[in-house]
Chain A
Amino acid sequence: MKAKIHVTLKQGILDPQGKAIEHALDSLGFKNAANVRVGKYMELDVSEKDKAKAEAQVKQMCEKLLANTIIEEYRYELT
C-alpha cells in the first residue's frame, strides 16, 4: 500500500518559514493570503495488504521518527 504522509508544525507554534512566505506573497500583491504553514510531505510503500495493519505501522513510523510530536502533528492516507 502507498502511504502519503503530511507533517506540519502544530497550530500555535511559530512557523518562521510560513511567515517569510506570507510576507513574500503579500509583497507580490496576494493581499488575501494569510496563515501560511510549511510542512513536509512524504510518501512510502508499505508491503502489507491489510489496511489496518499498514495503518498501524505508518502510525508507529510517524510517532517514532517521521514527526516530533512535541512540535509537529501528522496525518496520512493509505491507498
Chain B
Amino acid sequence: MNIGVIVFPGSNCDHDCEHVFRDVLGQNVTMVWHKETSLAGLDGVVLPGGFSYGDYLRTGAIARFSPVMPAIKEFAQSGGLVMGICNGFQILLEAGLLPGAMLRNRSLHFVCKDVHVRVENAATPFTGACQPGQVLNIPIAHAGGNYYTDPVTLAGLQANAQVVFRYCTSEGKITAEANPNGSLDNIAGIRNAEGNVLGMMPHPERSAEELLGNADGRLILMSMLELLKKRPLKMVGA
C-alpha cells in the first residue's frame, strides 16, 4: 500500500505516522506537502496531528484552505480512505468533510495523557480489526478536543452509527469522569455517513509498538490496511 501523509506547516506528528506505516507496518509512505494538488498513486491518506498554521484563528481553520484540500475532498468523495488524527480531525471538521466543530477543552488545559476509548462501531474501514465494544488505550494530546455539534446532527450521528470511539473508563463504562475534554456524548472519534472518512482525537500512531509500551493504536491503522487489501481504491489521474 502507498499511504500519503499530508504535511501542513505546523504538522508535528507527520513523521510519527510515517514511521509507523513504514517501519512498523511495512508500507510505502509518501509525504505530501500541503501545496501539492494531486494525490495520484495513493491508496489512503492521513492528516496528522500538530498545530497547522499555529492554530491561528481556530484549529484547522486556515489549513482547510491549503492547495491540497480540494484533492483530499475529491479523494474522499470517490471513496478513498481518509483518516484525520487530532489536528487532522480538526481540519476535516473545518473542511466540512465531517460534521461538527471543536471547542476549547472544558478544563482549558492542554491534556496529554493515555485515555481509554470504546469502539462503538467495529464495522468501519478503520475498526475492522477491533471487537465491538473493545476498550483501547490510546494517548491524547490537545487543547481543543471538546467536540460539539447541534442536537439534530448529534442524533443523526448516533442513529447512523457514525460515532466510532467514545471516551470511557478502563472497564468500558462511559462516564463524565472518563471524558478528558468535555466532548459531547464522550465522543472521541466519528466517521462520515459513507464511512470512508474518520476523525479521531486520540493518537493511534503513538501507541502502535510494544517497544513503546502500548500497541492498541495499531489495530486502527491495521484495519485501514486490511480493508485496502480487500478493496483497493487507488487514486488515479492528475
Contact = CB atoms under 8 A, between A and B. Distances in A.
A13 B57 contact: no
A65 interface: yes
A70 interface: yes
Contacts of B101: 68, 70-71
Interface string A30-58: 00000000001000000000000000000
Contacts of B150: 70
Interface residues of B, number: 19
Interface in B187-230: none
Interface string B88-117: 000000100000110111111000000000
A20 B108 contact: yes
Contacts of B62: 65
Nearest to B96: A70
Given A65-B61, A68-B58, A68-B61, A17 B108 contact: yes
B182 interface: yes
A68 B104 CA distance: 14
Interface string A1-38: 00000000100011011001000000000000000000
A78 interface: no
B149 A70 contact: yes
B96 to A, nearest CB: 10
B55 to A, nearest CB: 13
Nearest to B153: A70
Contacts of A16: 103-108, 146, 182
B103 A13 contact: yes
B216 to A, nearest CB: 29
Contacts of B94: 68
B104 A71 contact: no
A14 B104 CA distance: 9
A14 B106 contact: yes
Contacts of A17: 104, 108
Tell me which of A16, A40, A65 has the highest count of chain B C-beta atoms within 10 A of its own C-beta.
A16
Contacts of B182: 14, 16
Contacts of A14: 103, 106, 146, 182
B148 interface: yes
B61 A71 contact: no
Contacts of B65: 65
5 contacts: A16-B104, A16-B146, A20-B108, A40-B57, A70-B148
| Closest 3 A/B residue pairs (Cβ) | A70-B101, A71-B101, A16-B108
Given A13-B103, A20-B108, A68-B101, 11 more contacts: A14-B146, A16-B103, A40-B57, A65-B61, A65-B62, A66-B57, A68-B61, A70-B100, A70-B101, A70-B150, A71-B103
